[in-house]
Structure 1
Amino acid sequence: MTIDQITAGSVPSRFGALPAHPVLDRLRDVIKRTIAPAATATDRDAVPASHLAALAGTGLFGLSVPPRYGGLGAPPDVVTEAYELLAGACPSTYLIASQHSTPIRWILDGGGPALHDLLPALAGGELLGGAAFGHVRTWPGRRTATARRVVNGWRFDGVVPWFSGAGLVNVVLLAAVAEAEHAIVFAVVRLPQPDRVEAVPLDLAAIAGSRTATLHIDDLFVPDDDVAQLVDVDEWKVGDGREGPAVAPGALGLARAAIEYALIRQPDNPDLLALAHEVAHLRGAPPAGDPFARRARSVNLAIRATNAAVVARGGAALLADDVAQVWARAALFLQVRGLSDPLRAAHLHELAGGAPR
């Protein structure tokens, strides 16, 4: 693909200026033809492998990979727009696909040559990335997954409570606390490893098609070459959630889709247009101030917008084949995703009305 083919522009919308990019054009086509029509079935059953193959064909998985590794190195706003489109089309597919960039980011930030060798396959979608490390927030109150130093590497043991994409993801950023070193070992691990890693499916009330499971890890050896970073526990907890995206991943995509859906049924409703204006304002505002408050505000917008879609639709929104109830449950899920203590407080503040403290 040549440089002129990947140059991004922007187009106006009721939600502010949106980036333009060939990958976004292809993604919209796949969403319209394949992913959105199956959203309720996917939520009920599971994300099929064919969804991920279709997304790989758009170039989605190479957006955040530098060109020297076979990716597109697209601007951040293009990457954000791609995943917002996907979140609004099918939350379960979005949850799996959006975590693909996690091992990529950690490989680029600190991985050695052996891990960099994985990047071309990750960019092309031949390998699908995932993440399993939020549990380290609970240490030392809850000791779930631990790592111990051995010759030429580490041994991982324990339970990782949350892992999405079981059966589809084959490269996972796995974290465990090395208690002797008071550090977190972040490693890029290939799956499946049936003798050492067992995925036990979870029965979720929201985003149920995301193939989310608990990982049970039994004496898994991880060589030093597969370790991306070793980070002090206290240092990681201080930065947890402060350097991530300015808004909750997927929140504004859900809000946008729900508002458009509601406006089809209640055209020119001033309250729906006001919600759209709030989304546009949050998207366009510089990422300043308390990052947790901003993220909680984006989730609160998603909750309000998806609830508005349910009301605009009426009782039919409660039927299993209506996407409005899928969105509403997905918005609730976002309240507990990546939930640190500061983010929990910010969510509760938003739910109480968000007035200045």
Structure 2
Amino acid sequence: MAESGMDPEIFDQFLDQLQRYVRERLIPAEKEVIEHDRIPAAILDEMRNMGLFGLSIPVEYGGAGLNMQQYARVIHVMGYAAPAYRSIFSINIGMFSSALKNGGTEAQKAEWWPRVAAGEIACFGLTEPGSGSDSAGLQTTAKPDPSGNGWILNGTKRYITNAPSAKVALIMARTNKDNLPKNTHVSAFIVPMDAPGVSTGTPDKKMGQSGAHIADIMLDDVHLPGEALLGGETGKGFRFAMMSLDNGRISVGAMAAGLARRALDSAIRYANERKAFGEPIANFQLIQQMLAESEMEIYAAECMMDDVTARADRGENVLRKAAAFKVFASEMCGRVVDRVVQVYGGAGYLAEYDAERFYRDARIFRIYEGTTQILLLQIAKHMLREWKEEQR
């Protein structure tokens, strides 16, 4: 079923407004974000008022009702500014909202969609100290509460984006001690972060992406009512999580393309200002080669973004193409920021210049929401499965 999204003319006006906001408000505030490792409260309030926390949530629940193509274009525009700005609302409109859409009950949607659309920050708890890509290694447990129809959760989640500031988490937990086919031993739970027994660790110090926080979530005999189980059924949590990861991977790909575009624009400006041998280094052909190669790769990623999101809006299964887009865009961004450091030369290695920050900020794109290596295996697995089915 195709998703219509926001009226195209209204959306274009919103996007124009957002581009101005990014350049006139968010980019000038980056120095403060980096210095204090947080987004200023005033900017968070502005982002809530602009509706950024509810972009993909249906209008009837307080959101903007964007389709996937519009959602990705917004993330691409936001990607031009520091990654922390996207990170703070990306789980709301990405994996959390998508999981609710795909697997939530009507009561769960009615309770949580308006809250996250209004700006209550969400997080997504799948990764653990001993398991990331390997869901069979997941150790967090959810056992029936002997005193009623609820659940008791125990375990630890690791590297959870927005955990220190989140009001709600979607937590994956074992509801069966055995590893069952198709990961039906894993279920999803909506967990208020102020529930007794929920705590978060100290935010981790990271290579880059200042202002975007990750931390552990500890679950110590957390009692939840029965309605906390996503969809009201056990054994479906992993499927809901994987379906929502398509959304997350598209978001990361769009962000990577946006950051690559920002980095390239920075390199073009620097190459025209920096002089060597009596002329701007932009006149040197090997500098031009690095700029041109970056432009080609960014353009290719932007085309992939438009294609995969259009397919998603038509109702196609985009698991393979979303993975392909995420891999290409994240690897592309790594190559672009590396070239940008090279264009800057010695200055590119100094924290005084943006190139050094772009380089550090980009590195995580190839790791979270599925590492490049895991996604390559997933793409190949689906290709081979389709080939075998075609031979029957």
For normalisation by structure 1, the TM-score amounts to 0.80
Residue type matched to 2:299 in 1? A
Write the distance in 2 (CA, Å) between the matches of 1:69 and 1:327. 36
Q: 1:341 to 1:239 in 2, by over 3 A?
A: farther
Q: 2:63 aligns with which of 71, 77, 83?
A: 71
Q: Which residue, out of 121, 124, 133, partners 2:118?
A: 124
CA distance in 2, matches of 1:185, 1:63: 26
In the alignment, residue 214 of structure 2 is paired with which amino acid?
T
Check whether the contact 1:129–1:171 (CA below 8 A) recurs between aligned residues: yes
**Which moved further from structure 2: 95-104 or 129-138?**
129-138
Q: Does 1:329 align with 2:377?
A: no
Query: For residues 69 and 96 of structure 2, what CA distance do their matches in structure 1 show?
Result: 20
Q: Secondary structure at the match of 1:120?
A: helix
Greater alpha carbon shift after TM alignment, 152-161 vs 316-325: 316-325
- Tell me which residue corresponds to 1:3: none
- Establish whether residue 158 from structure 1 lines up as the match of residue 149 from structure 2: no
Q: 1:302 aligns with which of 333, 341, 357?
A: 333
> Which blocks of at least 5 consecutive residues in structure 2 are unaligned?
1-5, 273-281, 283-287, 309-317, 381-392
- Contact between 1:26 and 1:58, CA under 8 Å: does it hold in 2? no
Any unmatched runs of 5+ in structure 1? Answer: 1-5, 10-18, 350-357
Distance 1:322 1:51 in 2: 24
Q: How big is the alpha-carbon RMSD for the aligned residues of Structure 1 and Structure 2?
A: 3.2
Tell me how far apart the structure 2 counterparts of residues 51 and 88 of structure 1 sit (CA, whole Å). Answer: 16
Deviation at 1:303, TM superposition (A): 0.5
Cα deviation per residue 1:313-343 (whole Å; 9 max; x = unaligned)?
Answer: 3333333343322221122111111235853
Alignment identity in percent?
21
Quote how far apart the aligned CAs of 1:310 are. Answer: 1.9
2:377 and 2:259 map into 1 onto residues whose CA distance is 20
In 2, distance between residues paired with 1:88 and 1:129? 23
Classify the secondary structure of the residue corresponding to 1:88: coil
Larger radius of gyration: 2
Match of 1:266, SS state, is: helix
CA distance in 2, matches of 1:156, 1:48: 34
**Higher strand fraction (1 or 2):** 1
User: How do 1:11-160 residues align onto structure 2 when only pairs under 5 Å count?
Assistant: 21-44=12-35, 45-101=37-93, 102-116=95-109, 117-125=111-119, 127-135=120-128, 137-141=133-137, 143-150=138-145, 151-160=148-157
SS of structure 1 residue aligned to 2:220 = strand
SS in 2 for 1:99: helix
Q: Could you tell me which residue of structure 1 aligns to residue 165 of structure 2? A: 168
Are the structure 2 counterparts of residues 240 and 137 from structure 1 closer, same or farther at C-alpha, using a change threshold of 3 Å? farther
Matched-pair contact (CA < 8 Å) for 2:152–2:221: yes
Deviation at 1:96, TM superposition (A): 2.4
Which structure shows the higher helix fraction?
Answer: 2
- Aligned 8 A contact 1:144 1:160 in 2: no
**TM-score w.r.t. length of structure 2:** 0.74
Question: In structure 2, how many angstroms separate the alpha carbons of the residues matched to 1:321 and 1:341?
Answer: 31
Q: In the alignment, residue 178 of structure 1 is paired with which amino acid?
A: T
In structure 2, what is the Cα distance between the partners aligned to 1:217 and 1:194? 9
Distance (Å, rounded) in 2 between the aligned partners of 1:290 and 1:24: 25
Partner Cα distance (1:169, 1:53) in 2: 15
Number of residues of Structure 1 aligned to a counterpart in Structure 2: 333
Q: What does residue 300 of structure 2 align with?
A: 281
Mapped contact 1:170–1:191 kept (Cα < 8 A):
yes
**291-300 vs 94-103, which moves further:** 291-300
Matched position secondary structure for 1:279: helix
Q: Give the corresponding residue for 1:248.
A: 253
Matches within 5 A, 1:315-354: 315-339=346-370, 342-343=373-374, 345=376
C-alpha displacement at 1:249, in angstroms?
Answer: 4.8
Give the superposition deviation at 1:301. 0.8
Give the partner amino acid of 2:116: L
Amino acid at match of 1:277: M
Change (3 A) 1:47 1:301: same
Task: Choose the corresponding residue for 2:207, options 201, 205, 224.
Answer: 205
